[in-house]
Amino acid sequence: MNQDADSPSGTPSELPPRPPSSLPEVVAAPLLVPMFPLADVYLFPGTFIPLHIFEPRYRQMIEDCLDGPGRIVMASLLEAPPPAPDAVAAPAVAQAESAPRVHPIGGLGEIARHERLEDGRFMIWLAGLTRVHIVGEPESDRLYRKVLVRPALEEPVAPGDEPALRARVVEAVLQRTPDVLNIPPAVPLGHLVDLLLLKLCLPRSLMQDAYAELKIDARARCALELHQRRPPPPPGEGNGHGKGRAGPSLN
């Protein structure tokens, strides 16, 4: 993330939660939604991300959102391929650099709280609602980008397989969250898998594929395999969160 980009700040504990809109309201696709592209930031359903908004285009985006539904798509930037040694600069290259590519699976969020600062900047808390497919990007009439999205519906685990898989995920989560003594049984398995992924503090090359996996069974097994390959830090050496990443609430 470059220094000119707006960025996540703080931790989820700083958010006085407000329940986001109910899911049926946000899955009526297609939707045209403002897009906030950032490198290595993933908005998981059920999480909150604090964001510091200071670029003029994103200040405009927040102003517009506060006058409307308040929904934003967080999209992860794709790593640009290295240029060929004999590549010649062209107008298309400059255009691509001004509108970098994003992954087709993003997170739809809703502004749960905002604070307008005296100099025009914003502090916002974005509540994750659901994963979405980014299916198109029409020309925007604003400074920021807008995208068309459809809901990315998850495939549940077979009922006969869920208890054993859930037990393994719960064990892994507890190993990486020493401050959590018990996980309520009502927490959806998909949320637990997402929490484990967040605690693993993965590089973009691994996190993006795991985030985009819509089969909960496959996502859980991927997270468990990565958990085995990345031993938890010793007690007192951190909780495994990546900088600026928010985790699901368990209550």
85 and 139 together in one domain:
yes
Domain that holds residue 231: 154-251
Contact 227, 196 (CB under 8 A): yes
Give the CATH number for residue 94: 2.30.130.40
Q: Which of 126, 151, 176 is at the close of a domain?
A: 151
pLDDT band at 35 (very low <50, low <70, confident <90, very high): very high
110 and 214 together in one domain:
no
Contact 7, 51 (CB under 8 A): yes
Contact 109, 43 (CB under 8 A): yes
- Which of 135-149, 207-221, 236-250 has the lowest average pLDDT? 236-250
44 and 161 together in one domain:
no
132 and 181 together in one domain:
no
- Domain membership of residue 1 (yes or no) is no
Number of structural domains (the chain) is 2
pLDDT beyond 80 at 123: yes
Own/partner pairs for 9-14, CB < 8 Å, 24+ apart? 9/50, 9/51, 9/52, 9/123, 9/244, 10/50, 11/50, 11/241, 11/246, 12/47, 12/48, 12/49, 12/50, 12/246, 12/247, 12/249, 14/50, 14/125
| Whole-number percent of the chain with pLDDT over 70 | 74
The better pLDDT of the pair 237, 137 is held by 137
Helix (H) or strand (E) holding 31: strand 31-38
DSSP-H helix ranges across the chain: 23-26, 56-66, 91-98, 162-176, 189-200, 204-212, 216-229
- Which of 29-38, 127-136, 137-146, 210-219 has the lowest average pLDDT? 29-38
Q: What is the reported pTM?
A: 0.78
183 and 139 together in one domain:
no
100 and 203 together in one domain:
no
Amino acid (one-letter) located at 95: Q
